[in-house]
A and B are shown apart, each in its own frame.
Chain A
Amino acid sequence: GESVGLHLPTLSVQEGDNSIINCAYSNSASDYFIWYKQESGKGPQFIIDIRSNMDKRQGQRVTVLLNKTVKHLSLQIAATQPGDSAVYFCAETPGNQFYFGTGTSLTVIP
């Protein structure tokens, strides 16, 4: 089966600092990746996505970096805010279905 893993299960950052959440994927055929945010008691919420023909994509306060050589994906959150505290998942798809990681819990310290 697919293996999408996260390097760190938990991450704590000071409010205002930048956060970096990492993800390793195993299928070199995956061509589309998404980062999701899940707050307690809610379903996952789309943050940003990227195709395999790109190595960087920016959104509002978020940047996704894709390194296909080492099959690594990262999510950078600028000026982290208390509202960013949540579990973050990466997901990959080689074209048929999505495979999700177990998630990294981000805690923002005021």
Chain B
Amino acid sequence: KAGVTQTPRYLIKTRGQQVTLSCSPISGHRSVSWYQQTPGQGLQFLFEYFSETQRNKGNFPGRFSGRQFSNSRSEMNVSTLELGDSALYLCASSLRPQGTTYNEQFFGPGTRLTVL
């Protein structure tokens, strides 16, 4: 069974630009969560989509948005990029919504975004 895939793996943008990242979950998984990982901050939750609906949202500005398609693939978009948006963006998929016990999340390799 193929794992979670994320594209692109690396991305370089300049301030003010916008970016779209893609995540394909494991087949059959309906929950996709996005996280931002920076040195010293650990994993910060962005949002979770389940069956095309945003189920939870973390404390990030409105410049960060996402969506999920009927095939459970998800995209996240960051508009008006800032230097502080440089990070590793991870997505994770699971069968059931976050918070369900013994509901393992499988992470993708991440997209490394650098904002210059």
Contacts and interface: CB of A to CB of B under 8 A. Distances in A.
Interface of A: 1, 4, 31-32, 34, 36, 41-46, 49, 51, 89, 91, 93-103
A95 B42 contact: no
Contact of B106 (A46, A96, A98): A46
A46 B104 contact: yes
Contacts, number: 65
Contacts of B104: 34, 46, 49
B90 A44 contact: yes
A92 to B, nearest CB: 11
A110 B4 CA distance: 32
Contacts of A98: 33, 43, 45, 98-99, 105
Interface string B33-57: 1010000111111001000000010
Contacts of B105: 34, 46, 98
Given A43-B90, A43-B107, A97 B56 contact: yes
Nearest to B6: A43
Interface of B: 4, 33, 35, 40-45, 48, 56, 58-59, 90, 92, 98-99, 101-102, 104-110
A74 to B, nearest CB: 18
A99 B45 contact: yes
A70 B43 CA distance: 23
Given A43-B90, A44-B90, A93-B98, A101 B42 contact: yes
B101 A97 contact: no
B101 to A, nearest CB: 5
A18 to B, nearest CB: 25
Contacts of B42: 4, 89, 100-103
23 contacts: A4-B42, A31-B101, A32-B99, A36-B107, A41-B109, A43-B107, A43-B109, A43-B110, A44-B43, A44-B107, A46-B104, A49-B101, A51-B101, A89-B42, A93-B98, A93-B99, A96-B98, A97-B58, A97-B98, A98-B33, A98-B43, A100-B35, A102-B40
